[in-house]
Amino acid sequence: MTRTRPAAGSAPHPAATTAPPPASGPMPALVPGARAPGPGAVLAAGTGWAEAHAPFADPFGTPFGLAWRRFRRDRTAMASLAALALIVAFALMAPLWASWTGHPYDATFPETGLDASGQPVGPGAEFWLGADRLGRDVLVRAAYGGRVSLLVGVCSAALATVAGVAAGMLAGFAGGTLDALLARLMDLMLALPYVLVAITLATTFPTTSATAGVAMTVAVIAFFSVGGLARVIRGQVLSLKEKGFVEAARALGASNARIMFADVLPNLTGQITVLGSLLIPASIVFEATLSFLGVGVRAPAPSWGAMLGEGGEAFQTAWWLLAVPGALLLLTTLSFNLLGDAIRDALGPGGARPARARRGR
């Protein structure tokens, strides 16, 4: 069909001049160079052109969403996470291991766990990972020891993180005499020989129960872990409090407490997450060292460090007494360290590049 142009001066067709009904809300002014919206877009949601053309929400658009996406692409991180999941599951299943084998962790079985010469038997059908010098099941004790070691590591790391963040933020934000006093206290805590102090505390305040021994170990590890973390947080706070957003908050009349918790603390979340994740394996090794020396978790509660100390004398004839707790301790600390490195790379501004570099090796 041939369309004819209307004659000059004639009125336009009514359909060409009929405007779409207005939406609920004023039509936004067009930016120069922008394309005018069509009637269908205006009427799509009934709330205005801007809301009708709002972009689809990206679930990975937040900083932590991007960090999670980087973390998932890191094969080393996922392997470490899987290894830690298996270790935690092994420790949580300790009562099941004891039920399946019929060997409680503190029960001795000299008739079946020791041979005719009094030496512990090796891995077999009765004792899946062998027996120790008292005829106790190494598998069951390793599972219960994992619960103790993981509990001590996580609790002491969490306690040290909370105390270190509080001390570091207070020292860095307050400044002056309080900053100098807390800084010298941190240096003193880092200078103390923790093993000698732990031995002194263990001999001065002996514990009579396994629970009290675990609590004492957690307190000692947390105390000696606060100083290093507090110094890092203090340095970050000294840098952040000179930023423009802090000055703007002060200009608006915000109190120091509000600035610390609403402006400074959210900017420390990444550093706190990384430091806390790296503090867990250090605390586990700390506990193993104290238990190996006999001043950590007390008998009859097992831990990997205590098992290493008990099996050291019989290593030449019973290799599994050191191999089992040593392998579990090595795998746990290595997985936590690799996981902490992956979290640091994911939260950093160039987190995607280190992940690809590790995958390419």
The predicted structure's pLDDT at residue 5 = 52
pLDDT at residue number 334: 94
- Please list the ranges in the chain whose pLDDT falls under 70: 1-61, 63, 349-361
Nearest to 23 by CA among 8, 5, 44, 1: 44
What's the whole-model pTM score? Answer: 0.74
Q: Which two tokens stand for residue 82?
A: 């899987």
> What are the tens digits of pLDDT across the range 226-248?
988 999 999 999 888 888 888 89
**Two structure tokens written together for 111:** 């008739």
pLDDT at res. 245: 87
Whether the Cβ atoms of residue 274 and residue 343 lie closer than 8 Å to each other: yes
Q: How many CB atoms lie under 10 A from the CB of residue 341? A: 19
For 294-338, the DSSP string reads TSSSPTTS--HHHHHHHHSTTTTT-THHHHHHHHHHHHHHHHHHH
What pLDDT, on the 0 to 100 scale, is given for residue 87?
A: 96
Angle at CA 165, nearest 5°, toward 163 and 171? 100
Could you give the maximum distance between any two Cα atoms of the chain, in Å? Answer: 121
The kind and range of the H/E element at 83 are helix 75-92
Strand partners, 114: 120
Query: 86: left (phi > 0), else alpha (psi -120 to 50), else beta?
Result: alpha
pLDDT for 147 equals 94
Q: Which residue has the tokens 């009290």?
A: 212
Helix, strand, or coil (residue 195): helix
Q: Rounded to whole angstroms, how far apart are CA atoms 43 and 28?
A: 14
Helices marked H in 125-175: 138-174
Q: What's residue 349's pLDDT?
A: 60
Q: Please list the residues that pair with 137 across neighbouring strands.
A: 131
User: Shortest CA distance to 269 belongs to which of 58, 62, 57?
Assistant: 62
